[in-house]
Amino acid sequence: MVGATKIALACVLALGAAGISASAQDSQPQARLAREWVAAASAFESYTTHGAEIRPGFASGREVAGAVTVGAAHEPRQLEAGMIAYAALAAVQEPAFVDSVQRLAGDARDRADLIHRLADEPQSVMGLPGADAAAGRAQAALLAQIEPLIADGRRVKQAAYDVQHSAWSKGPIADPAGRLTRVKAISARAFEPADADAERLFQAVTRAEPGAGGAPTPVVVRGLALAALALSGAAGEDTVDAVRPLMSEPRSAACMHLAKLNLFQCMAVAGPHYEDVFCLGQHAMIEPGQCMADAAGGQAR
């Protein structure tokens, strides 16, 4: 069998190739994840990591503008797909789940049946041995990325009040219309990972620890279904369109979209710099973070 860590590495390396496969022997199934989905997973990891690194000790309007650029730099649909892909990469760290999928995928008829069932009914993945453990690991991995973002967002939101003791914070934002246009452009741009992003993604998913959550959410279930398809060789470049419906979940999609609209509306009426700090903390960090935490099945602390 192919080790779970080796499979995750193959998926991450797909950032630099049309499709990567990993197998110990020619007779064993391949693990393939299309570049688009790995890039989405990297977008999720990058946004949550860099967002959680925003520090609330602002000393100028320039620092606030730079932080807003970091916080706003996520495209909601890619981020949603990224949660699912990240969950898949975490799920393939669970050996029992990997074994059960590979045993099925080793038989051509069983493999075809599995792929068909996962496409029609992603929830069916939970019937596989090891799926509960894989779901717990995926949930834990997602929340490990999300919770620091929310915690930092709360500190940034508090800074919107604290910073008002400084005169600069009450000064008017320069070119507010232009800055809103720039934020909207950043928000519509898909994330394109570099080599360093691929390495950081690999390190993050391979640190995924076993977790014991509640009933898996639709996003986590979709992540496991994607993992099973990747392990079955059915989530590569040649099946992107077939897999695409799996990469979105209506409730989390609506939540992420609303958070982004709230950010735009907040920035459209913001006057002094401290109001931009509030927009950043509440609508670019806390709200999308809470959307993602709910989608992962956790409660943000």
pLDDT of residue 213 exceeding 70, the answer is no
Tokens of residue 14, six digits: 């797909």
User: Could you tell me the CA-to-CA distances from 228 to 25, 161, 173, 217 in Å, in that order?
Assistant: 19, 47, 49, 17
Tell me if the pTM is above 0.85.
Answer: yes
**2-18 residue pLDDT tens:** 444 444 445 544 443 33
Nearest to 247 by CA among 38, 58, 17, 10: 38
CB-based contact 219:83 (threshold 8 Å)? yes
Helix axes of 95-105 and 4-13: crossing angle, nearest 10 degrees: 80
Give 195's pLDDT tier (boundaries 50, 70, 90). confident
**132-160 residue pLDDT tens:** 999 999 999 999 999 999 999 999 999 99
DSSP letters along 233-290, please? T-SSGGGHHHHGGGG--HHHHHHHHHHHHHHHHHHHH--BHHHHHHHIIIIIIIHHHH
- Ordered by start, the domain boundaries in the chain are 4-296
- As a whole number of angstroms, the distance between CA 128 and CA 155 comes to 42
Length of the chain: 301
